[in-house]
Amino acid sequence: MGIDDKIGNASEETTGKVKEGAGRATGDERLEAEGRGDQASANLKQAGEKIKDIFKS
């Protein structure tokens, strides 16, 4: 996994956590759900990159 991919995925996950927290704090269910979706997307990307790394070895 390239360092730029790791940074991008970590950034997306962090953004998702912030959105989820902000949504929860303000009672905005849509923003909270969007944050959870961003986190899930980042986690899937990280898993895909790890699998690619395994096959490269």
pLDDT at 52: 87
HEC secondary structure over the chain: CCHHHHHHHHHHHHHHHHHHHHHHHHCCHHHHHHHHHHHHHHHHHHHHHHHHHHHHC
Which residue, chain included where needed, has tokens 């949504």? 23
pLDDT at 1: 57
Q: In the chain, which residues have pLDDT < 70?
A: 1
pLDDT at 42: 95
- Model pTM score: 0.83
